[in-house]
Amino acid sequence: MIRKIVRIDEEKCNGCGLCAPACAEGAIKIVNGKAVLAADNLCDGLGACLGECPQDAIVVIEREADEFDEAAVAKHLRETSPEAAAKPHHAPQVHNAPHLGGCPGSRAMTITPPVQTTVSVDKTEQPSQLRQWPVQLHLVPATAPCFQGADLLIVADCVPFAYADFHRDFLAGKVVVIGCPKLDDNRLYLDKLTELFRVSSVKSITVLRMEVPCCGGIVMTARQALAASEKDIPFHEVTIGIRGEVKE
């Protein structure tokens, strides 16, 4: 049958993932860094995802397509978004994570770190200090509520592996985005950070980089984005050595 259905322009799509959770039917998924239509019969053709795409990569067209199938949508959502397993009493609590379908890995949520608990006389459990999800700069929405009035941590993704007490010394009390300036497209990072700084009320910016020269790209990108946003936000840079020490 000929009907309305979304079309995704692969050339324009940058894989930010904002369209996936915006689709209540779970018709869009991220494959190899690009948004794709999972199946024609999952798309209602109403285009709720259009307004979420910052690249204008999604349009509604008319073409030959399978009829929209609500039963198939229900089955698809059950299979792709199973209920979370029961958590122990001291696990982080997750809020603001409504069932929206799409890619579970890019669904935005807020995490409240648990209270630190003592598990033995000489061993103290260190709880996670992560306060939001997702954390990858490509995936996080610039308009996410977690950025409002927040202290922002921009982290080269090797840092948490090198610095043993990353959660305690740097992440606690902050929201975080991560990326790799060597392997990823820094132009995309520049655009995303510029938008984030413009639309949010971030109070401070701390950039954590590794001491290797290529890692300086994440600091340069953050500074350029701040300048482009025309915001006056306190900016701090910290360098971590490959042996895990803080460099002056």
175 within 8 A of 153, measured Cβ to Cβ = yes
pLDDT value at residue 217: 87
The predicted model gives 176-204 an average pLDDT of: 91
In the chain, how many domains are there?
2
Range of the domain at 10: 2-80
Question: Could you tell me if 181 and 118 lie in one domain?
Answer: yes
Q: What rounded mean pLDDT belongs to the chain?
A: 83
**213 pLDDT band (50/70/90 cuts)?**
confident
**CA proximity to 124, closest of 174, 90, 93, 92:** 90
* Residue 120's CATH number: 3.40.50
Least confident of 47-51, 161-165, 188-192, 220-224: 47-51
Question: Could you tell me if 118 and 57 lie in one domain?
Answer: no
DSSP 61-128: EEEE-PPP-HHHHHHHHHHHSPPPPPPPTTSPEEES-----S-GGG--EEEEPPPP-B-SSS-B----
DSSP tag of 228:
H
* Residue 48's CATH number: 3.30.70.20
pLDDT in tens, 141-187: 998 999 999 999 999 999 999 999 999 999 999 999 999 988 887 88
**77 pLDDT band (50/70/90 cuts)?**
confident
pLDDT value at residue 93: 47
pLDDT in tens, 104-138: 444 555 656 666 555 555 566 788 999 898 999 98
Q: Which pTM does this prediction carry?
A: 0.56
The predicted model gives 239-247 an average pLDDT of: 91
Question: Could you tell me if 153 and 203 lie in one domain?
Answer: yes
**26 pLDDT band (50/70/90 cuts)?**
confident
